[in-house]
Amino acid sequence: MLNVLTVEETMRLIDERVKPLGRTQQAGIGEAAGRVLAEDVTGTEYVPGFDRSTVDGYAVRAKDTFGCSEALPALLTLSGEILMGQQASEKLQPGCCMAVPTGGAVPEGADAMVMVEHAEDYGDGTIGIMKPAAPGDNMIYRGDDITPGKVLLSAGLVLAPQDVGTLAAMGKVQVSVSVRPRVGILSTGDELIPADQAPQEGQIRDVNSHFLAAMFAAAGGAVHNYGIIRDEDALIGAALDRAIEENDMVLISGGSSVGLKDAACRLIEERGELLMHGISMKPGKPTILGIASGKPVFGLPGHPAAAYFSARLFAMRAFWNLCGSRQEPVKVSAVISESIGANHGRTQFTAVTLTGTPGSLTATPIRSKSGLITSISAADGFIAISRDSEGLGAGAKVEVTLFRALPY
């Protein structure tokens, strides 16, 4: 019998039963992007370590420039030039200025930088300042970026390129990251052939194992694609045993319904605990979740679009739980271009394209027969219509979860 849960109940079940693996390793910053940070990173030093100029110009004492103008420049003595990567050898004296390039060290005694555009070099060791500077103008102070103890990055974060930059800024070239969860993927079906072969009548190419492998690899998983398994209990059972043994989670696509030939549920149950069989959603209803040897095992529907939603919504959530990370989907607001019916009692996921500009986006549903993978490829995102909805009228406000949003 189907133990059918709602979408929300399934999310809660996954959160209750799929916990972080807790295995960590050190990663060099060259390989750290896309990995899940396993430590809180706090500042260990002052960055920058000295006051810096943000412009090409002259380091001054702001009060020496008060009241100056183009008509009445403040005349300062040029007492030195600071080269990139070097410190001033002496303190800036009253009535003096020093030339400093962008990023160069501002000498002690100076409290502002005047842009070269607002100064004139008279060539006799005197600089005319045409615009008064306020203390702090055009400067970054020691520690503006990072100070010791400042919380910079929190455990669970998927490291983005800018985070790698933050690590580099303070010389942290190794970080603790979660070990990549191993994800085993199996496709089942007598009609399936490998993607590089030509189908005979009645055969189709295996779509699911390929996009599932790509989905979990893109999320940072260590993917093992076991390919196509014929619809025989002994073969699927043996492949499942191996996949459970060799991975931290397993996805098996096809045969997840209740038909006689549908083996996934039976075979998962034989190997562990069956937690759920069926989610009140469309597409994707025949989704299974079991736990075998402590590892989540998902049975996904064969129809590619259904498998996609099921994997993306649920198997991905389990994956992030294994990583010790929480990922919230990126959503944008839009209005729907045309009315759309609902599936009473089931959450309906509909792929949409987006047109317009942020703030006034229109979502157009992609009307396609169920299961077509290209309907997902052609879409920009999807909307969820709640299971107690009677449907949406044209112009209704919707939240669109983006399919192609990068994490940075």
Structure tokens at 328: 């919230």
Among 107, 254, 278, 296, binds ligand AMP (CB under 6 A): 254
Residue 29 contact among ligand AMP, Mg ion, none, beta carbon within 5 to 8 Å by kind: none
Contact between 129 and 375 (Cβ < 8 Å): no
Does position 34 interact with Mg ion (CB under 5 A)? The reply is no
For 335, the 3-state DSSP assignment is strand
Size of the site for Mg ion (CB under 5 A): 4
289 or 385: whose CB is closer to ligand AMP?
289
Residue 187 contact among Mg ion, ligand AMP, none, beta carbon within 5 to 8 Å by kind: ligand AMP
Residue 192 contact among Mg ion, ligand AMP, none, beta carbon within 5 to 8 Å by kind: ligand AMP
Amino acid letter, 9: E
Among 184, 304, 365, 381, binds ligand AMP (CB under 6 A): 304
Structure tokens at 97: 């200025």
Query: In whole angstroms, how far apart are CA 232 and each of 1, 207, 263?
Result: 21, 20, 8
Candidate ranges 29-37, 81-89, 187-195, 382-390; the one touching ligand AMP (CB under 6 A): 187-195
Structure tokens at 352: 């949409």
Contact between 306 and 283 (Cβ < 8 Å): yes
Residue 303 contact among Mg ion, ligand AMP, none, beta carbon within 5 to 8 Å by kind: ligand AMP
Q: Is 201 exposed, middle or buried (0-12, 13-18, 19+ CB in 10 A)?
A: exposed
In terms of DSSP bridges, do strands 74-81 and 96-100 run parallel, antiparallel, or are they unpaired? parallel
Does position 278 interact with Mg ion (CB under 5 A)? The reply is no
Does position 189 interact with ligand AMP (CB under 6 A)? The reply is yes
Phi first, then psi: give them for residue 46, nearest 5 degrees: -85, 125
Nearest approach, Cβ of residue 203 and ligand AMP (Å): 9
Nearest approach, Cβ of residue 249 and ligand AMP (Å): 18
Site for ligand AMP in 198-227 (CB under 6 A): 204, 206-209
| Token pair 């993306």: residue | 312
For 298, the 3-state DSSP assignment is strand
Nearest approach, Cβ of residue 306 and ligand AMP (Å): 8
20 or 301: whose CB is closer to ligand AMP?
301
168 or 378: whose CB is closer to ligand AMP?
378
Among 255, 278, 290, 365, binds Mg ion (CB under 5 A): 255
Does position 254 interact with Mg ion (CB under 5 A)? The reply is yes
Angstrom distance (rounded) from CA 239 to CA 137: 67
Contact between 371 and 283 (Cβ < 8 Å): yes
Amino acid letter, 171: G
Residues that bind ligand AMP (CB under 6 A): 187, 189, 191-192, 204, 206-209, 253-257, 301-304
